[in-house]
């Protein structure tokens, strides 16, 4: 097997994820070598150790999945399925130390596939699934107003394309920069900005009575 074309192909996109936790704070990439050891142990037959990975990452991407799919229940199904699928394909995990980034891509695929199914079925968005986070200093009518705006925005988000919704969620919900998003899902900053700007325009159209 001789590489006879004289040049190496361009570098493959190898997502190296800097994860955030559920409150949006950056998490140090300190778990990676531990992840690699756990993945290798599971591949060697110590199946029970897979629970460590489930416990470590189950909530980390839950908000992403919930905003992509429109409800925490759908997110829970997606995260569960993604963990089972990741287990099935664990031998394909080329960088066990980067299990988190690899798992995110599996969950992302699952969310996109679910979105396509929902588009065919016309699934409704579960707008009441998330409680309105009341703030003590606000008047009740202000809280109601904030909750209503939140619901309307979430409904509008579900009417974006999955690609537009994803870049919006990663930037404005998860708080990633465009550069961090390219590391996570590939593509260029310019392409992501164009996608995002189309999402802004679409949201303005959908919420024109509000903004």
Partner 1 sequence: MTEFHPLVKRLLDGEATLADLPPELREQGAAALRLLGAIDRTPVTLDPALDARVMAAIGQRGRTGQSPASRRALRWLSEPRELRLRVRPWVLGVGLAAAAGLVAALVGPRAPQAPGPTVPESAFVSFVLYAPGATQVALAGTFNHWDQAATPLRRAAAGDVWTVTLALPAGEHQYAFVVDHRRWVTDPAAPAVDDGFGRRNSVIAVGGPGGHRL
- Considering only residues 1 to 30 of the shown chain, the ones binding partner 1 according to CB under 8 A are 1-9, 11-14, 22-24
Question: Which residue, 83 or 115, is less far from partner 1 as judged by CB?
Answer: 83
For residues 46-75, which are near partner 1 according to CB under 8 A? 47-48, 50-51, 54-55, 58-59, 62-63, 65-67, 72, 75
Least Å distance, CB 159 to partner 1, is 14
Q: Which residues pair with 20 in a beta bridge?
A: 26
The conformational region for residue 197 under phi > 0 = left, psi -120 to 50 = alpha, else beta, is alpha
CB 143 within 8 A of CB 134: yes
Least Å distance, CB 34 to partner 1, is 16
Half-sphere exposure of 81 (CA within 13 A, CB side): 16
187 alpha carbon, distance to own chain's centre: 16
Least Å distance, CB 168 to partner 1, is 9
CB 56 within 8 A of CB 31: yes
The window from 27-35, 113-121, 134-142, 151-159 that contacts partner 1 (CB under 8 A) reads: 151-159
Locate tokens 């829970």: which residue? 76
Question: Which residue, 46 or 124, is less far from partner 1 as judged by CB?
Answer: 46
Question: Which residue, 94 or 121, is less far from partner 1 as judged by CB?
Answer: 94
Question: Which residue, 1 or 30, is less far from partner 1 as judged by CB?
Answer: 1
Reference 165, options 210, 130, 125, 121; nearest CA is 125
Least Å distance, CB 109 to partner 1, is 7
Least Å distance, CB 119 to partner 1, is 22
Binding of residue 161 to partner 1 (CB under 8 A): no
DSSP 48: G
Size, binding site for partner 1 by CB under 8 A: 82
Half-sphere exposure of 66 (CA within 13 A, CB side): 18
């Amino acid at each position: 097997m001789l590489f006879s074309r004289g040049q190496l192909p361009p570098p493959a996109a190898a997502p190296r994820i800097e994860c955030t936790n559920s409150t949006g704070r950056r998490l140090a990439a300190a778990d990676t070598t531990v992840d690699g050891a756990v993945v290798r142990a599971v591949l060697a037959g110590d199946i029970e150790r897979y629970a460590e990975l489930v416990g470590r990452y189950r909530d980390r991407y839950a908000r992403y999945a919930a905003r992509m799919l429109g409800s925490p229940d759908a997110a829970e199904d997606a995260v569960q399925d993604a963990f089972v699928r990741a287990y099935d394909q664990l031998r394909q995990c080329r960088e066990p130390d980067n299990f988190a980034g690899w798992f995110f891509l599996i969950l992302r695929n699952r969310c996109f596939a679910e979105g396509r199914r929902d588009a065919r079925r016309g699934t409704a968005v579960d707008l009441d699934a998330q409680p309105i986070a009341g703030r003590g200093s606000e008047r009740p009518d202000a809280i109601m107003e904030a909750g209503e705006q939140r619901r309307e925005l979430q409904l509008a988000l579900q009417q974006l394309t999955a690609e537009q919704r994803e870049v919006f969620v990663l930037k404005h919900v998860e708080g990633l920069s465009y550069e961090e998003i390219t590391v996570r899902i590939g593509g260029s900053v310019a392409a992501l900005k164009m996608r995002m700007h189309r999402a802004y325009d679409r949201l303005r159209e959908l919420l024109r009575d509000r903004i």
